[in-house]
Structures are given as C-alpha cells and as structure tokens.
C-alpha cells in the first residue's frame, strides 16, 4: 500500500474544485471577508480541510451529495479535527451555490465578527457583482 502525501493530495484537490468550492473561494480569498486569511484545501493530516483560517483554527467544509453516504466517516473526521482544536462549520453545496454571500455572513457571525466584504484589488469583478447580474437576468427572463 502506498502512503499518501497530504500536500500532494491537497494540490490535486485544488485543481479539481467543485463549483461550490470555486464560488466560496472567490469570496474568501485575499482576506475579502472580515480581513481573515483563508487557505483552500488545507492539509491537516490525515485529512484535508476545504477552507481553513489557521489564525482562528477555523475550518469551513462544503458537503456535496456524496456526503449523505458517508455520514459516519464525516463524524469521525470532525471529532478528530475538533480534538486537534479546530472549530468547524459545514454548508451543503446548495447553500453556497444559492447565496454565497449569506454563507459568508454566517461564517462571520459564527466567529463573532461583524460581516465585512472588501473586494480584492485588481479583481475584474467581485463574485457578488456577478451573482447579482445573474439574478437580475433570471428575473427579467419571460416566464412560460
């Protein structure tokens, strides 16, 4: 049996993020939410956290449909990480895809912080701006 390398595994996971992970990362990256530095696919051997704020020892996990089938494994993983001092919050894919800003607000509240979003410098447009444009387009579409 080959021993896995968590750092290499994390790099591989970064290359094939889900749509929800990409969307949330566009919010969390570059200290845009409450000035917190998040890392994506952060190795905490033997596990890899979806998003981690190391300064707060705080992790954000996004659960896709496959998590329904591995509830016990998720619970075991969570207990291990909590024992290592991590505070963990979980969101289903649908929450992130449906309203990523609400997810960011819940993260801030969970940490006892007032929600602030500061668009990263040099970005073409913020995820919130793109999401609002998409919502406006959907609302303008004629209903059958």
Residue 105 phi/psi, 5-degree rounding, is -65, -45
Per the structure, the count of domains in the chain is: 1
Structural domain includes residue 102: yes
Structural domain includes residue 1: no
Residue-wise pLDDT for 23-78, tens only, equals: 999 999 999 999 999 999 999 999 999 999 999 999 999 988 654 567 888 889 99
Structural domain includes residue 42: yes
Distance CA 73, CA 75 (A): 5
Residue-wise pLDDT for 106-141, tens only, equals: 999 999 999 999 987 765 445 556 666 667 777 777
Peptide bond into 46 cis (omega under 30): yes
Pair 107, 60: CB distance under 8 Å: yes
State the CATH number of the domain containing residue 130: 3.40.960.10
């Amino acid at each position: 049996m080959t021993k896995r390398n968590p750092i290499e595994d994390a790099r591989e996971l970064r290359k094939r993020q889900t749509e929800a992970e990409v969307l949330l990362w566009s919010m969390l990256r570059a200290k845009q939410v409450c000035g917190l530095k998040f890392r994506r696919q952060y190795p905490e051997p033997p596990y890899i956290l979806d998003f981690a704020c190391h300064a707060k020892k705080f992790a954000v996990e996004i659960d896709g449909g496959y998590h329904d089938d591995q509830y016990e494994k998720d619970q075991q993983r969570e207990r291990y990480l909590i024992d290592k001092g991590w505070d963990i919050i979980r969101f289903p894919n649908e929450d992130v895809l449906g309203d990523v800003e609400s997810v960011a607000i819940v993260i801030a509240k969970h940490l006892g912080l007032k929600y602030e979003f500061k668009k990263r410098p040099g970005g073409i447009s913020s995820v919130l701006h793109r999401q609002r444009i998409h919502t406006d387009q959907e609302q303008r579409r004629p209903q059958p």
